Chains A and B, each alone.
Chain A
Amino acid sequence: EVQLVQSGAEVKKPGESLKISCKGSGYSFTNYWIGWVRQMPGKGLEWMGILYPGDSDTRYSPSFQGQVTISADKSISTAYLQWSSLKASDTAMYYCARETYFDYWGQGTLVTVSS
Protein backbone atom coordinates (compact mmCIF):
# COMPACT_ATOMS: atom_id res chain seq x y z
CA GLU A 1 0.00 0.00 0.00
CA VAL A 2 1.35 3.38 -1.05
CA GLN A 3 1.60 5.80 1.86
CA LEU A 4 3.01 9.26 2.39
CA VAL A 5 3.36 10.13 6.06
CA GLN A 6 4.16 13.70 7.00
CA SER A 7 5.72 15.11 10.13
CA GLY A 8 3.57 16.70 12.81
CA ALA A 9 2.21 20.18 13.27
CA GLU A 10 4.65 22.99 13.98
CA VAL A 11 4.32 26.32 15.79
CA LYS A 12 7.13 28.74 15.07
CA LYS A 13 8.01 32.40 15.46
CA PRO A 14 8.74 34.75 12.56
CA GLY A 15 12.38 34.49 11.50
CA GLU A 16 12.81 30.92 12.66
CA SER A 17 13.81 28.09 10.38
CA LEU A 18 11.83 24.92 9.76
CA LYS A 19 12.11 21.63 7.89
CA ILE A 20 9.08 19.36 7.49
CA SER A 21 9.17 15.85 6.12
CA CYS A 22 7.23 13.38 4.02
CA LYS A 23 8.12 9.69 4.16
CA GLY A 24 7.08 7.44 1.32
CA SER A 25 6.44 3.72 1.60
CA GLY A 26 4.88 0.93 -0.42
CA TYR A 27 6.49 1.94 -3.70
CA SER A 28 9.86 2.69 -5.28
CA PHE A 29 10.57 6.15 -3.86
CA THR A 30 13.22 7.03 -6.43
CA ASN A 31 10.96 6.41 -9.44
CA TYR A 32 8.19 8.94 -8.74
CA TRP A 33 8.11 12.71 -8.44
CA ILE A 34 7.21 14.16 -5.04
CA GLY A 35 5.52 17.55 -4.95
CA TRP A 36 4.52 20.04 -2.28
CA VAL A 37 1.24 21.95 -2.12
CA ARG A 38 0.30 24.87 0.10
CA GLN A 39 -3.20 25.55 1.35
CA MET A 40 -3.61 28.73 3.32
CA PRO A 41 -6.52 28.90 5.79
CA GLY A 42 -9.82 28.81 3.94
CA LYS A 43 -8.12 29.02 0.54
CA GLY A 44 -7.37 26.83 -2.45
CA LEU A 45 -4.44 24.65 -3.44
CA GLU A 46 -1.12 26.15 -4.58
CA TRP A 47 1.54 24.12 -6.36
CA MET A 48 4.90 24.92 -4.78
CA GLY A 49 7.40 22.63 -6.44
CA ILE A 50 8.40 19.09 -7.26
CA LEU A 51 11.44 16.85 -6.96
CA TYR A 52 12.48 13.60 -8.60
CA PRO A 53 14.32 11.62 -5.93
CA GLY A 54 16.11 9.46 -8.50
CA ASP A 55 18.30 12.33 -9.70
CA SER A 56 17.24 15.21 -7.41
CA ASP A 57 15.86 17.20 -10.35
CA THR A 58 13.85 19.96 -8.66
CA ARG A 59 11.42 22.50 -10.12
CA TYR A 60 9.87 25.41 -8.24
CA SER A 61 6.88 27.57 -8.89
CA PRO A 62 8.09 31.14 -9.53
CA SER A 63 5.92 32.15 -6.57
CA PHE A 64 7.95 29.97 -4.23
CA GLN A 65 11.40 30.04 -5.83
CA GLY A 66 13.89 31.36 -3.29
CA GLN A 67 11.32 31.17 -0.49
CA VAL A 68 11.57 27.45 0.24
CA THR A 69 13.90 24.54 -0.46
CA ILE A 70 12.74 21.10 -1.53
CA SER A 71 15.07 18.17 -0.99
CA ALA A 72 15.06 14.43 -0.41
CA ASP A 73 17.06 11.68 1.23
CA LYS A 74 16.42 8.65 -0.92
CA SER A 75 18.21 6.36 1.54
CA ILE A 76 15.26 6.82 3.90
CA SER A 77 12.58 7.53 1.26
CA THR A 78 11.90 10.96 2.69
CA ALA A 79 11.27 14.32 1.06
CA TYR A 80 11.62 17.65 2.81
CA LEU A 81 10.32 21.19 2.59
CA GLN A 82 12.29 23.82 4.44
CA TRP A 83 12.31 27.50 5.23
CA SER A 84 15.30 29.52 6.43
CA SER A 85 13.29 32.42 7.81
CA LEU A 86 9.57 31.97 8.35
CA LYS A 87 6.99 34.73 7.98
CA ALA A 88 3.49 34.97 9.40
CA SER A 89 2.23 34.56 5.83
CA ASP A 90 3.73 31.04 5.75
CA THR A 91 0.97 29.89 8.09
CA ALA A 92 -0.78 27.16 6.15
CA MET A 93 -1.35 23.46 5.70
CA TYR A 94 1.35 21.85 3.58
CA TYR A 95 0.79 18.63 1.70
CA CYS A 96 3.21 16.35 -0.07
CA ALA A 97 1.91 14.28 -2.95
CA ARG A 98 3.26 11.75 -5.40
CA GLU A 99 3.76 12.10 -9.17
CA THR A 100 3.02 14.88 -11.61
CA TYR A 101 -0.70 14.40 -11.18
CA PHE A 102 -0.94 13.75 -7.48
CA ASP A 103 -2.19 10.23 -7.08
CA TYR A 104 -1.32 9.84 -3.40
CA TRP A 105 -1.23 12.55 -0.76
CA GLY A 106 0.21 12.91 2.70
CA GLN A 107 -2.10 13.81 5.56
CA GLY A 108 -0.77 17.36 5.69
CA THR A 109 1.44 19.32 8.09
CA LEU A 110 -0.02 22.43 9.69
CA VAL A 111 2.55 25.18 10.08
CA THR A 112 1.63 28.13 12.29
CA VAL A 113 3.92 31.14 12.38
CA SER A 114 3.07 33.64 15.08
CA SER A 115 4.90 35.94 17.43
Chain B
Amino acid sequence: EIVMTQSPATLSVSPGERATLSCRASQSVSSNLAWYQQKPGQAPRLLIYGASTRATGIPARFGGSGSGTEFTLTISSLQSEDFAVYYCQQYNNWPPYTFGQGTKLEIK
Protein backbone atom coordinates (compact mmCIF):
# COMPACT_ATOMS: atom_id res chain seq x y z
CA GLU B 1 0.00 0.00 0.00
CA ILE B 2 1.29 3.44 -0.92
CA VAL B 3 1.51 5.84 2.00
CA MET B 4 0.80 9.50 1.32
CA THR B 5 2.33 11.99 3.75
CA GLN B 6 1.21 15.61 3.80
CA SER B 7 3.05 18.50 5.38
CA PRO B 8 2.62 20.55 7.37
CA ALA B 9 -0.32 19.26 9.39
CA THR B 10 -1.44 22.85 9.96
CA LEU B 11 -0.46 25.92 7.99
CA SER B 12 -1.20 29.45 9.19
CA VAL B 13 -1.24 32.07 6.43
CA SER B 14 -2.64 35.59 6.14
CA PRO B 15 -5.27 36.43 3.51
CA GLY B 16 -3.65 37.62 0.30
CA GLU B 17 -0.48 35.65 0.92
CA ARG B 18 0.72 32.50 -0.83
CA ALA B 19 0.24 29.01 0.62
CA THR B 20 2.32 25.99 -0.29
CA LEU B 21 1.18 22.51 0.74
CA SER B 22 3.24 19.38 0.24
CA CYS B 23 2.40 15.74 -0.39
CA ARG B 24 4.89 12.89 -0.58
CA ALA B 25 4.25 9.34 -1.79
CA SER B 26 6.12 6.32 -0.41
CA GLN B 27 6.71 5.17 -3.98
CA SER B 28 6.20 6.68 -7.40
CA VAL B 29 2.61 7.44 -8.40
CA SER B 30 3.63 9.04 -11.70
CA SER B 31 1.27 12.01 -12.18
CA ASN B 32 -1.77 10.20 -10.83
CA LEU B 33 -2.28 12.59 -7.94
CA ALA B 34 -5.36 14.58 -6.97
CA TRP B 35 -5.96 17.38 -4.47
CA TYR B 36 -9.24 18.01 -2.64
CA GLN B 37 -10.57 20.80 -0.47
CA GLN B 38 -12.96 20.11 2.38
CA LYS B 39 -14.79 22.73 4.41
CA PRO B 40 -16.57 21.94 7.68
CA GLY B 41 -19.85 20.11 7.16
CA GLN B 42 -19.27 19.70 3.42
CA ALA B 43 -18.21 16.93 1.10
CA PRO B 44 -14.71 17.21 -0.33
CA ARG B 45 -14.30 19.01 -3.65
CA LEU B 46 -11.85 18.06 -6.37
CA LEU B 47 -9.35 20.84 -7.07
CA ILE B 48 -6.56 19.24 -9.10
CA TYR B 49 -6.11 15.92 -10.92
CA GLY B 50 -3.24 14.58 -12.96
CA ALA B 51 -1.00 16.44 -10.48
CA SER B 52 -1.47 19.78 -12.26
CA THR B 53 -4.82 19.97 -14.10
CA ARG B 54 -7.43 22.16 -12.47
CA ALA B 55 -10.89 20.63 -12.18
CA THR B 56 -13.87 22.36 -13.73
CA GLY B 57 -14.65 25.67 -12.12
CA ILE B 58 -11.53 25.82 -9.94
CA PRO B 59 -9.98 29.31 -9.83
CA ALA B 60 -6.58 29.89 -11.41
CA ARG B 61 -5.05 30.79 -8.04
CA PHE B 62 -4.94 27.02 -7.31
CA GLY B 63 -1.96 25.31 -8.90
CA GLY B 64 -0.56 21.80 -8.65
CA SER B 65 2.91 20.55 -9.53
CA GLY B 66 5.17 17.54 -9.15
CA SER B 67 5.46 13.96 -10.32
CA GLY B 68 6.77 10.68 -9.01
CA THR B 69 6.85 11.05 -5.23
CA GLU B 70 6.85 14.80 -4.53
CA PHE B 71 3.86 17.06 -5.10
CA THR B 72 2.86 20.60 -4.23
CA LEU B 73 -0.41 22.50 -4.10
CA THR B 74 0.03 26.24 -4.29
CA ILE B 75 -2.65 28.82 -3.61
CA SER B 76 -1.27 32.06 -4.97
CA SER B 77 -3.28 34.68 -3.07
CA LEU B 78 -5.43 33.33 -0.28
CA GLN B 79 -9.06 34.31 -0.16
CA SER B 80 -11.22 33.92 2.94
CA GLU B 81 -13.06 30.97 1.34
CA ASP B 82 -9.80 29.02 0.89
CA PHE B 83 -9.32 28.29 4.58
CA ALA B 84 -10.16 24.62 4.80
CA VAL B 85 -8.58 21.17 5.01
CA TYR B 86 -6.73 19.91 1.93
CA TYR B 87 -6.11 16.27 1.04
CA CYS B 88 -3.96 14.66 -1.59
CA GLN B 89 -4.80 11.25 -3.06
CA GLN B 90 -2.87 8.89 -5.30
CA TYR B 91 -4.77 6.89 -7.90
CA ASN B 92 -1.86 5.08 -9.50
CA ASN B 93 -1.70 1.85 -7.49
CA TRP B 94 -4.69 0.09 -6.01
CA PRO B 95 -6.21 -1.01 -3.89
CA PRO B 96 -6.39 1.29 -2.10
CA TYR B 97 -6.14 4.67 -3.75
CA THR B 98 -4.77 6.23 -0.60
CA PHE B 99 -5.34 9.70 0.80
CA GLY B 100 -2.91 11.78 2.76
CA GLN B 101 -3.84 12.70 6.32
CA GLY B 102 -4.70 16.28 5.37
CA THR B 103 -3.34 19.78 5.89
CA LYS B 104 -5.46 22.31 7.72
CA LEU B 105 -5.04 25.76 6.26
CA GLU B 106 -5.95 28.35 8.86
CA ILE B 107 -6.06 32.10 9.03
CA LYS B 108 -3.02 33.73 10.59
Interfacial residues, chain A to chain B (CB-CB below 8 A)? 35, 37, 44-50, 59-63, 95, 97, 100-108
| Candidates B32, B46, B87; contact of A44 at CB < 8 Å | B87
> Contact: A49 with B44, CB < 8 Å?
no
Are A45 and B97 within 8 A (Cβ)? Answer: no
CB distance from B40 to the nearest CB of A (A): 11
Q: Contact partner of A100 among B38, B43, B45, B97, CB < 8 A?
A: B97
Q: Considering only CB atoms, which chain A residue lies closest to B95 in the complex?
A: A59
- Which of A35, A37, A102, A108 has most chain B Cβ within 10 Å? A102
A46 to B34, CA, bound (A): 14
Tell me whether A107 and B95 are in contact (CB under 8 A).
no
**How far, in angstroms, from A104 to B87 measured CA to CA in the complex?**
15
CA A106 to CA B42, docked complex, whole Å: 10
**Residues of chain B lying within 8 A (CB to CB) of residue A60:** 95
| A101 and B34 contacting across the interface, CB-CB below 8 Å | yes
Contact A105 B44 (CB under 8 A): yes
Task: State in angstroms the CA–CA spacing of A62 and B94 once bound together.
Answer: 10
**Residue B52 at the A interface, CB < 8 A?**
no
Cα(A50)–Cα(B100), bound, Å: 18
The one of B55, B87, B94, B99 in contact with A59, judged by C-beta atoms closer than 8 angstroms, is B94
Contact B55 A46 (CB under 8 A): no
In this assembly, does B101 line the interface, its C-beta being within 8 Å of a C-beta of chain A? Answer: yes
**Residue B36 at the A interface, CB < 8 A?**
yes
